[in-house]
Amino acid sequence: MSPAAAAASFPVIDFSPFFTTGGGENEVEKEEVINSIREACSDYGFFVAVNHGIPAEAMDRSLEMAHEFFDRPSEEKLKCTPPTSDTPVTTGYAKQPDHSPNKNEYFLMFEPASAFNVYPTSPAPFRYYYFFFFFHGRLYRF
């Protein structure tokens, strides 16, 4: 199956029951969403979330900042690695090992209060958008 065909078959999950008020039927709808997430993660490992309440502008700006960060020279990205190797997991910027078939770069963060997080100084609003998405997710955790 081509990547485009696989992406077209990903489950789409509507989160609107978590953003509307209702009686017992709303609780049933929430449970259906939770079951859909469980099924999607088990069967596909991925799903597309719709009606989640995050403004499109915030998502667009976050994607722009990610591109801006990853387009920087390696020396600059490496400034966003932990100062020591004592961390249980490498947070901040990292790259897959050379022997890995997937050479992706990534930026890993934990909860905002975690002492393990390393934030880039540029783009400047990076930390703000991370806090925004993190707390938005916490607000609607189920």
Rounded CA gap, 76 and 42, in Å?
38
Structure confidence at residue 80 (pLDDT) = 80
Rounded CA gap, 14 and 42, in Å?
18
Structure confidence at residue 33 (pLDDT) = 93
The mean pLDDT of 28-53, rounded to a whole number, is: 90
- What is the Cα gyration radius of the chain? 18
Structure confidence at residue 91 (pLDDT) = 77
Kindly report the pTM of this predicted structure: 0.62
Q: How high does pLDDT run on average in the chain?
A: 77
Tokens coding 18 = 């978590």
Q: Is the pLDDT of residue 62 over 50?
A: yes
CA 62 vs. chain centroid, Å, equals 10
- Name which of 115, 113, 121, 119 is nearest 138 in CA terms: 113
Structure confidence at residue 67 (pLDDT) = 86
- At residue 94, the 3 state secondary structure works out as strand
The mean pLDDT of 82-102, rounded to a whole number, is: 73
The mean pLDDT of 25-41, rounded to a whole number, is: 91
93 or 118, higher pLDDT: 93
Rounded CA gap, 1 and 56, in Å?
30
Tokens coding 100 = 């890995």
